[in-house]
A and B are shown apart, each in its own frame.
Chain A
Amino acid sequence: DVKVTQSSRYLVKRTGEKVFLECVQDMDHENMFWYRQDPGLGLRLIYFSYDVKMKEKGDIPEGYSVSREKKERFSLILESASTNQTSMYLCASSLTRDGQETQYFGPGTRLLVL
């Protein structure tokens, strides 16, 4: 079974703090993704990565950065957390073979910025 783990289930931070969200997958997947999920807005893609040290902006990259130094690990960084970044953050990984791709999700990190 594919396993995607996230470093924290719940996190409380103060405005202006630097926040690191870690995601690790154990299936040697090439692709990794960070989403945020908010009521009424569904899942929105923040950043994704198709290879080590490679990153691409998603739909809402502002206020975020990412790091992929190793294939199994994809980190989301909030340089200076703001209250509008309070959300559920979901990491996913996938493998693309013969044009087929399926994304597998971690359990999510619920971030509260005060």
Chain B
Amino acid sequence: GQQLNQSPQSMFIQEGEDVSMNCTSSSIFNTWLWYKQDPGEGPVLLIALYKAGELTSNGRLTAQFGITRKDSFLNISASIPSDVGIYFCAAIRYSNYQLIWGAGTKLIIKP
């Protein structure tokens, strides 16, 4: 099935650094979602975005719904060890309400 283009594929950062990842597509979407998945667990919703241009924060996390409706980014400020995991973007188009997924960004924090 169709996938979103998520980058980077993985990130190796020092604790305390800021993190930025993004998802792009050639298609327009109505909803962008960001999830985090820990090993052996299901994805947990971090932030949901429903309007183009919307900027939403959840603690140290900030995400934006691109103005063109074709992209979204997620920023994590001042990373901590528990931020380790795989982050997925997902998007929904109203026409069929199916969720389209990015391939994930694996975040690893160096001690």
Q: Which residues on A are within 8 Å of B, measured CB to CB?
A: 4, 9, 31, 33, 40, 42-45, 48, 58-59, 90-92, 96, 99-108, 110
Contacts and interface: CB of A to CB of B under 8 A. Distances in A.
Contact of A101 (B31, B42, B102): B31
* Chain B interface residue bracket vs A: 20 to 34
Ordered nearest first, which 9 A-B pairs have the shortest CB separation?
Answer: A105-B42, A59-B1, A108-B42, A105-B43, A102-B48, A43-B101, A107-B42, A42-B103, A42-B101
Contact of A42 (B44, B94, B102): B102
B25 to A, nearest CB: 14
B99 A45 contact: yes
Nearest to B104: A42
B28 to A, nearest CB: 14
Interface in B41-58: 41-45, 48, 50
A33 to B, nearest CB: 8
A42 to B, nearest CB: 5
B59 interface: no
A103 B1 contact: no
Given A99-B50, A104-B45, 18 more contacts: A9-B40, A33-B99, A40-B103, A42-B104, A45-B98, A45-B99, A48-B98, A58-B1, A91-B42, A99-B30, A99-B94, A102-B33, A103-B33, A103-B90, A106-B42, A107-B41, A108-B42, A110-B40
